[in-house]
Structure 1
Amino acid sequence: MRPIWKGMLSFGLVNVPVALYNATRKKTISFNQLRKTDYSRISYKKVGNDGQEVQQHEIVKGYEISPDRYVVLDEYELDAITPVASRVIEINDFVRLEQIDPRHYDASYYLVPETGAQKAYALLLQSMAEANVVGVAKFVLRSKEYLAAIRPAEGALTLSTMLFADEIVKPTELETYLPGDVKLTDKELNMARQLINSLVTEFEPEKYENEYYKSVMGLIDSKAETTVGGKELIGGKVIDIMAAIEASIAAIKEKEKPKKKRKTS
């Protein structure tokens, strides 16, 4: 696996050369849309309201401020305010892990020490683990600014990109009734607590599997062994297997027929 970013992890006056690696691999299944008759890929064209195809050089970026009213932004205007690529992840604060609402967490990465940085890396890793704290930092990756939480996990520093506060939807914004003033009896609460306590266990992520993913991939694997939708792909062409078999049998029978002798006069 190759790193997606290299730079410095900074806290105070200490700089640690690090590389950033993906810590997760999302297992999602995506399908291509094909034409049913010949399984050719479906392509899409960008068209305007008049139905005419729009070329790439004719496209601009617009932000809708009201129905069919847009503020158009030129590329040079956006480039002027795009964050400059950074080679430093600077930890500004250390906070307690339990103070961060899990809703803030987004994607996860590993921060790995570069050559010669193992001691400084180990110092930060062990100190954070003993203090049970998370480093909060901001950095730029691929022209986008991120808020990040840095924490020890299984002998490595992990970096989780985070959602900003104004990206979190508060329950009060939901158009529904929340049971804030529902009266509960002691008996009801005790029974609920008893049930919950009977189900409390250690979290073992390995025992939870994506059953749908496994089923779909199993189906794909079984069909991919010989066919695609009941038809075999040969040289980029779709051939009906049954038709091919029948044609082969017919050809063999024709070949095995005794040839009629010509009559001589």
Structure 2
Amino acid sequence: MLTPMRAIWSGSITFGLVNVPVKAYSAAKKHDISFHQVHDADGGRIRYQRRCEVCGKKIDYEHIDKAYEDGEQTVVLTDEDFASLPEAQNDEIEVVQFVPSDQIDPIMFGKSYFLEPQGKSPKSYLLLRQALGDTDRTAVVTFALRQKTRLGALRVQDDVLVLQAMYWADEVREVDFPATRSQAKIGTKEKKLAAALVDQFASDFTPEEFEDTYQVELHKLVDAKLEQGESLDTAATFGDVTEESEGEDAEVIDLMQALKASLDKKRGGRKTAAKGSRSTSGTKTSASQRSDSKPSGSKTSSSKASGGRKTGAKKSGSSGGSDASGKSGKKPAKSAKSSATSGEKSGSRRRKSA
């Protein structure tokens, strides 16, 4: 089943007097896992805030303008300033050249967009597609997208017109590596061996056969941690907060309340044991107890479930496993449990002696 796409731009292709109404869609998407940043001690979400360095207030996007600094002075440009530029409202993809396809260096290519025909009749779209296919040429175009004038290439892929953004000529760097001008001689045998090696790997390009193995292993690692219960309460640590409580102080208070409630539930509300644990193990103990002090063996199982692959994390020593950042979150919980038990035993001895 095809994934629904959202158009990011609508306008028309123009070449001569021909007008082709189209909508543009991003041709590619990333498959990487998205991560949040959290505090390694308690798993609390790390948030970044936009604060003014003059008044110290937190600023919303609607009150943020862009500025250019030349070293001594700063010029502020508002949304109205950008909208006043002639090219800002241009909704045309203007064809300026039809060139042989092999004349465009692939290093100039950027992001690609699928173009969908619009209007009552797609005849002009089909005509342009046919012309490009018959002549084996690529249309060099100019267009405006997100307040920028861009250079692009218009070509055919299967039955669809594809707009491929291109770098401007002055954006492509010129390089001069001294080693590339070396006069080192390459022998005949070396050439033959190299040619034979290339011949062994010769094949037609089949992109679907390639797989992002890093992301596959990362998914396995995340799934293994979820299955073994090595997770945090999303509502307590990742939940969205309101504008009124989005400040750093409010977030710390909410997290501390969740930790204290978890400790009280785990220890049956015994304040004496709770105080003894906090004084012994500190913040990291509280964060680990919030996850109900799962056995440290679960991390070992997690490591086995992930196929024993090295994930780049540091070993956590005697705890038997580590999280994705290489920091152990279970060892403090163990010390907290022992301190709580010792606190209960000492209290029991005092009661007996009394």
TM-score of the superposed pair, with normalisation by structure 2: 0.59
The structure carrying a bigger strand percent of its residues is: 1
Deviation at 1:218?
2.5
User: In terms of mean alpha carbon deviation, does 211-220 or 129-138 score higher?
Assistant: 211-220
Partner residue, 2:12: 8
Partner residue, 2:254: none
Alpha-carbon distance in 2 for matches of 1:188, 1:168: 33
Aligned residues: percent identity? 30
Q: 1:113 to 1:49 in 2, by over 3 A?
A: closer
Q: 1:30 to 1:177 in 2, by over 3 A?
A: farther
Deviation at 1:4?
0.9
Q: 1:185 to 1:87 in 2, by over 3 A?
A: same
Q: What is the identity, as a one-letter code, of the residue corresponding to 2:194?
A: A
Given the alignment of the two structures, is residue 18 of structure 1 paired with residue 69 of structure 2, yes or no?
A: no
The aligned runs of 1:1-265 (5 Å cut-off) are: 1-45=5-49, 53=56, 56=59, 61-63=67-69, 69-76=71-78, 79=82, 81=85, 83-172=87-176, 174=177, 176-225=178-227, 227=229, 230-233=230-233, 235-236=235-236, 239-242=290-293
Equivalent residues, number: 236
Given that 2:10 and 2:22 are in contact with CA atoms closer than 8 Å, whether structure 1 keeps it comes out as: yes
How far does the alpha carbon of each residue in 1:223-255 deviate from its partner, in whole angstroms, 9 at most, with x for none?
34574xx245275357423469xxxxxxxxxxx
Deviation at 1:55?
5.3
Q: 1:16 to 1:117 in 2, by over 3 A?
A: farther
Deviation at 1:131?
1.1
C-alpha RMSD of matched pairs (Å): 3.0
Q: What is the identity, as a one-letter code, of the residue corresponding to 1:88?
A: E
Q: 1:115 to 1:81 in 2, by over 3 A?
A: closer
Q: Name the structure, 1 or 2, with higher relative contact order (CA <8 Å, separation 6+).
A: 1
The structure carrying a bigger helix percent of its residues is: 2
Given that 1:60 and 1:74 are in contact with CA atoms closer than 8 Å, whether structure 2 keeps it comes out as: yes
How far does the alpha carbon of each residue in 1:110-166 deviate from its partner, in whole angstroms, 9 at most, with x for none?
011013232211111122112111111111111111111110001111111111111
Alpha-carbon distance in 2 for matches of 1:224, 1:145: 46
Alpha-carbon distance in 2 for matches of 1:146, 1:58: 25
Deviation at 1:7?
0.9
Alpha-carbon distance in 2 for matches of 1:151, 1:107: 13
Task: Give 5+ residue unaligned stretches, structure 1.
Answer: 245-265
Deviation at 1:6?
1.0
Deviation at 1:197?
2.5
TM-score of the superposed pair, with normalisation by structure 1: 0.77
